[in-house]
Amino acid sequence: MSTNAEPSPDPTRPRDESQADAPPADSALILVDIQPDFLPGGSLAVDEGDRILGGVRSLMVSGDFPVQVATQDWHPPNHRSFASNHDGGEPFGEITLHGHPQVLWPDHCVQDTPGAELHPELPWQRVSAIIRKGLDPEVDSYSGFRNNWGPDGSRPATGLAGLLRERGVGHLVVCGLARDYCVRWTVEDALDEGFAVTLVWDLTRSVDPSGDEELHAGLADRGARILNRADLKP
């Protein structure tokens, strides 16, 4: 046995409740689209989006996540999801794009603009991979794993699933913005890819919170474990 191994737990000692929800060793922290444009003051501001920052930081520095991956919405200015690129297009209206409903968004996360940066107040030094998505002007991309549907009806992979598997990751702890779009799609695709998923509900916020109850139930039904930051180890 190696001399620097953790001492085995003493069964006569009461269990330390603060350790109750330490994430499994094969966990990765997935930080979805934590960018100024999705925070109050941004061009696609999510109400209370800034409230997640302290808790997100605490997970990033917890020491529990040797693998941390960020996603970054990263659109060219002529992106099809922008209402401004459609004649008469209204922000938050809906069109059909490649046979699927597409919300028209205000211009957001335009490549190389300050609103598209990873939020400057978080410790990104710990993040070893950044998956940029939404680069194809014709296709939106909510999930960190796959684009939305393209003209050929397929949803091309970003490579995130392979990256995580090669790093030995089996379990994802997911937080970020927006709960009802990019977080939701990332969680659903992660479950479809066979990862165990813990969604840290209070470290996410929705564009439209009126759907939160249904979203919570739907993701739990699909197999996501949903809890709050305080339910995890300090």
Residues catalogued as catalytic: 33, 133, 182
What is the contact surface with Zn ion in residues (CB under 5 A)?
Answer: 73, 134
Q: Which is nearer to ligand VGL, 45 or 164 (CB)?
A: 45
Binds 49, which of ligand VGL, Zn ion, none (CB < 5 to 8 A, cut-off by type)? none
Closest distance between ligand VGL and the C-beta of residue 182, in Å?
A: 3
Select from 67, 198, 195 the least CA-distant residue to 129. Answer: 67
Binds 50, which of Zn ion, ligand VGL, none (CB < 5 to 8 A, cut-off by type)? none
Closest distance between ligand VGL and the C-beta of residue 63, in Å?
A: 27
Closest distance between ligand VGL and the C-beta of residue 148, in Å?
A: 10
- Looking only at the bridges linking them, the beta strands covering 27-32 and 94-97 are unpaired
Q: Which is nearer to ligand VGL, 23 or 201 (CB)?
A: 201
Select from 233, 188, 212 the least CA-distant residue to 48. Answer: 212
Contacts for 68 with CB less than 8 Å, ≥ 6 apart: 28, 29, 30, 31, 60, 126, 127, 128
Q: Which is nearer to Zn ion, 158 or 198 (CB)?
A: 158
In angstroms, the CA 23 to CA 233 distance is 8
**Token pair of 227 as six digits:** 């809890």
Closest distance between Zn ion and the C-beta of residue 103, in Å?
A: 10
CB 104 within 8 A of CB 159: no
CB 68 within 8 A of CB 93: no
What is the contact surface with ligand VGL in residues (CB under 6 A)?
Answer: 33, 38, 73, 105, 142, 177-178, 181-182
Binds 145, which of Zn ion, ligand VGL, none (CB < 5 to 8 A, cut-off by type)? none
Binds 178, which of Zn ion, ligand VGL, none (CB < 5 to 8 A, cut-off by type)? ligand VGL
Q: Which is nearer to Zn ion, 50 or 73 (CB)?
A: 73
Contacts for 194 with CB less than 8 Å, ≥ 6 apart: none
